[in-house]
Amino acid sequence: MTEATPALPRLRDLPRSSWRVAILAGMASYLDAGAIITSGGALVLYKEHFGITLGQIGELSAILTFLFAIGALIGGRLGDRFGRKRVFTTTMIGLVIGSAIMACASNIWMLYGGTMLVGFSIGADLPVSMTMISEEAPPGFKGRLVAFSHVLWMAAIGVTFLLQIVVGDMATLGGRLMWGHIFIVAMMVVVLRTTLPESGEWVKADALRKEAGADSGTVEIGALRQLFGPQFLKPLIALGLFYGVFNLAANTGGQFGTLLYTELAKTSVSTAGAVNTVQLLLSIICAVIFMRTVDLPSRMNWFLMGGVLAIAGQAMPLIFGVSVGSLAAWQILQGIGGAFAGESMWKIWSQELFPTLLRSTAQGATTFFTRLLAAVAALGTTYLIADGPTTLFVTLTAAVSFTTALGWFYIRKLPVVETV
């Protein structure tokens, strides 16, 4: 007779303090998605007023993504060395300043400067915040609370698209209002985050590190040597490839979805926002389902289903041609599939495959690779859109096929490590 699998603790039993950490730290995902979508939509609205060309839209998108990559690499390491709270409070202040510049810009050079600050700040914030959620979650809730950050990520996309519907015909003012939304949310988050305690798990691990008596330089070199050693190098590379390649599809929809609708499907910005909002409702539902299933043994079955749907989504514009309908199908299937087989799973695996004092660093490194790859891709995406989207969607179909195979055949078999 087989032993029954123990039932998971219920979310209703989760202490309020744990929800508070999950929400305030998880807002990094909200602001990440919100800033990416806002950048793409606001640049289209700023286009005529500032005389922005398609090439400059590509440059600004690449800068946003590249500085995100640099920020993740630096912020992730600083989070492991100096604590989660200190880093993610500072980075949120940077986002407040950067979004204010983007909202009040009077010339294109301010857009370039604001984009750099926004990109660096949200990049440095994300790996530290995700680690904070995992470390402060009670036993039995870690996967679900990390997955909750993806619900916030999807919610940000929905809110931003709803705002885009309202302001889509307001030209420059509409772009300023979109960035004003990011500024207000970031301001609220930075104030509330100051009330959070430091991660208890990090405090414990840091105390053990200090008891070892190693000086700062030795600790730093030893930690990096451990991360790139035989035990963690393979999961580091695998997660970097998984997140980086899958993100090509997600980032294309986020940064260039509005441009695809307006330039190739010949519809308005507000119509694009309406279509995107409808598909987001399904994606948010799926993100909630993922949150409820991620700690169950069946989670990889959900992963495989999501991967197949995401692959099908990339192929829609290839099969049916580019139109409002095929782009909507692309984003709907991408959103549903990605909830189970995309960034959400990278967040979970990143917590499970690395120890406490390497966890934020590892996430920063894989995020750096991911956003660097996306930045390079962003430079050429606008030209692919202008020349015809076939090559673009063939590439995206191949990318999601690769990540689904990598997750199913390799990453799921990697061993989970101890927390400290």
- How far apart CA 402 and CA 418 sit, in angstroms, is 29
* Phi, psi of 65, rounded to the nearest 5 degrees: -70, -40
More confident residue, 43 or 225: 43
More confident residue, 420 or 46: 46
* Fold of the CATH domain 16-195+222-413: Growth Hormone; Chain: A; (1.20.1250)
pLDDT of 420 > 70? The answer is no
Q: pLDDT band for position 419 (50/70/90)?
A: low
Query: Residue 135 belongs to what H/E stretch?
Result: helix 108-136
pLDDT of 220 > 70? The answer is no
Q: Which of 52-61, 121-130, 320-329, 377-386 has the lowest mean pLDDT?
A: 377-386
Tell me the average pLDDT across 91-118: 93
Average pLDDT, the chain: 84
Tell me the average pLDDT across 217-245: 80
Would you say 190 and 86 are in contact if contact means Cβ atoms under 8 Å apart? no
Would you say 281 and 158 are in contact if contact means Cβ atoms under 8 Å apart? yes
Report CA torsion sign: 60, 65, 70, 72: positive
* Phi, psi of 401, rounded to the nearest 5 degrees: -60, -45
DSSP string, 186-206: HHHHHHHHTTSPPPHHHHHHH
- How far from the centroid of its chain's Cα atoms is residue 84's Cα? 18
Report CA torsion sign: 326, 33, 392, 267: positive
- How far apart CA 241 and CA 405 sit, in angstroms, is 12
Q: pLDDT band for position 173 (50/70/90)?
A: very high
- pLDDT by residue (tens digit) across 137-155? 887 788 888 888 878 887 8
More confident residue, 259 or 145: 145
More confident residue, 285 or 271: 285
Residue 96 has what pLDDT? 95
What is the model's pTM? 0.78
pLDDT of 110 > 70? The answer is yes
Three-class SS state of 274: helix
Q: pLDDT band for position 54 (50/70/90)?
A: confident
171: alpha, beta or left? (left if phi > 0; alpha if psi -120 to 50): left
- How far apart CA 133 and CA 30 sit, in angstroms, is 14
- How far apart CA 206 and CA 86 sit, in angstroms, is 14
The encoded tokens of residue 248 equal 């090509």
* Phi, psi of 215, rounded to the nearest 5 degrees: -75, 170
Report CA torsion sign: 233, 237, 242, 248: positive
Residue 219 has what pLDDT? 53
DSSP state of 279: H
What residues contact 379, with CB distance under 8 A and at least 6 apart?
Answer: 58, 59, 62
Q: pLDDT band for position 235 (50/70/90)?
A: very high
| Helical H segments across 228-323, by residue range | 233-263, 269-293, 299-320
pLDDT of 267 > 80? The answer is no
The encoded tokens of residue 79 equal 């989070």
- How far apart CA 282 and CA 128 sit, in angstroms, is 29
- How far apart CA 95 and CA 75 sit, in angstroms, is 14
Q: Which of 119, 107, 108, 123 is nearest to 39 (CA)?
A: 119
Tell me the average pLDDT across 384-413: 89
